Structure 1
């Protein structure tokens, strides 16, 4: 009985924190607290409560908001299919091949992979020159990650930190996370839980004015995506830097040859 009371007290406190979060609209991205998603937030809180009580799983506020929006989008997509009898084909992500940077620049693609159950993450990045040749690449496994976006931010932070430390001055950081790009370019308000990491990235990029960030679909980010996914399965958490990427050389050469066609 005492255990049940403690669980419910914890859940009540979490809900109070959540509603304080929703009430502070000026501190969070508008798209995450719009009126249309309130019912989905309440539904997600109820599901979180059940998972916490019966499975011991706990979710923070950011993860709850993101999941609520995913629930809403999934429901809307199903309703649209029902309306037209399932005749509408699902929208496909635009296909875009990787393209090298201009001469004297390097392009660094970053990506992250996240396991929701274990909360382990893998980050990967690869920097290439204007001929598509590997300059540097990084792979690192992370633990206790709270969201996929946090892993994406960590991948970007490590890449910018490493390349600026190596003295590179003209770097295009390319990510397939549109939210990350918007946060760094200040198109979206900073999320408080990610603020220290985002501020570090912004400061490093401000100090190195030749650094810029762009968005590309995942089809143009295949090598970084592969590194991140492979890294998330590593047993070791020791960061790894590569000047030769033997285990992905075929994929790197494939993207290079596709550009040259």
Structure 2
């Protein structure tokens, strides 16, 4: 309808000012042609926008490296409600994505996921301090714990948990604590699941990454080692 009105308007102006008038069937044909071209353009633009959104989401779901001179400690947490077992994992990587160290540990009699995440975070900070690492970005999939530390006044009922975490963080001179979604923290999460739900309960610290996730970590490393 908009194109038909437009062509009628143009035809009127041509008749008034130039004394010319288009053939009715020709005008209708042009109307449908313009309408189809516009619809195709809109469909193409929508597909392009959708592709760009998907590309942006894929980029966001990739692990992001720390600045040069820093290391990133990704903390993964798993929890089995049935067994009341929590799995904690930390993975240390440099700015090129290279896995330097990783560790896992089981926690017992854990009543909920929040408790598992709190214990894993405290344990991870203690471990990193024991390894005398500095300039560390701690990344965990938990907005509550990160906000407790960044905005303690907004969490007056959690002074005990805040104090527990801060007592460990003071041992590290330069640190940051950030929330990172599970898709960006997939390697650590998979190891944590192997503890909580896979029955891999033995604790250890090892250089590099686990063999069964070698290809996964290597593929992420290649993105930043160029």
Structure 1 and Structure 2 fold alike (TM over 0.5): yes
- Whether 2:155 is the aligned partner of 1:189: answer yes
C-alpha contact (below 8 Å) 1:127/1:134 kept by paired residues: yes
Residue 205 (1) aligns with residue 157 (2): no
Q: Please tell me whether the aligned partners of residues 125 and 227 of structure 1 are also in contact (alpha carbons under 8 angstroms).
A: no
Q: For 1:223 and 1:191, locate their aligned partners in 2 and report how far apart those are by CA, in whole Å.
A: 33
Question: 1:171 aligned to 2:136?
Answer: yes
Contact 2:71 2:136 survives alignment (8 Å): yes
The match for 2:114 is 149
- Cα 1:191–1:152 shift into 2, 3 Å: farther
Name the structure 2 match of 1:120.
Answer: 85
Segments of 5+ residues of structure 1 without an aligned counterpart are 1-91
Q: In the alignment, is residue 225 of structure 1 matched against residue 181 of structure 2?
A: no
Structure with higher RCO (Cα < 8 A, 6+ apart)? 2
Q: Once the two structures are superposed, what CA deviation does each residue of 1:152-193 show, in whole Å capped at 9, x if it has no partner?
A: 11111111111111111110001111112112223541655x
What residue is the counterpart of 2:180 in the other structure?
A: 216
Aligned length: 167
Structure 2 SS opposite 1:161: helix
Contact 2:106 2:195 in 1 (8 A): yes
Asked if the contact 1:122/1:140 (under 8 Å) is kept, the reply is yes
Larger Cα-atom Rg: 2
Q: Indicate how the Cα distance of structure 1 residues 163 and 100 shifts in structure 2: closer, same or farther if over 3 A, else same.
A: same
**Distance in 2, Cα, partners of 1:136 & 1:121:** 21
SS of the equivalent of 1:110 reads: strand
Q: Any unmatched runs of 5+ in structure 2?
A: 1-53
Q: Does 1:131 align with 2:96?
A: yes
TM-score, normalization: structure 2?
A: 0.66
Residues 1:101 and 2:57 aligned together: no
CA distance 1:114–1:128, shift in 2 (3 Å): same
Query: Residues 91-116 of structure 1, C-alpha deviation per residue, up to 9 Å, x if partnerless?
Result: x9x54311111111100000211111
Which residue in the other structure is 1:240 paired with? 204
Q: CA RMSD in A?
A: 2.3
- SS of the aligned residue for 2:190 comes to helix
2:170 is paired with a residue whose SS is: helix
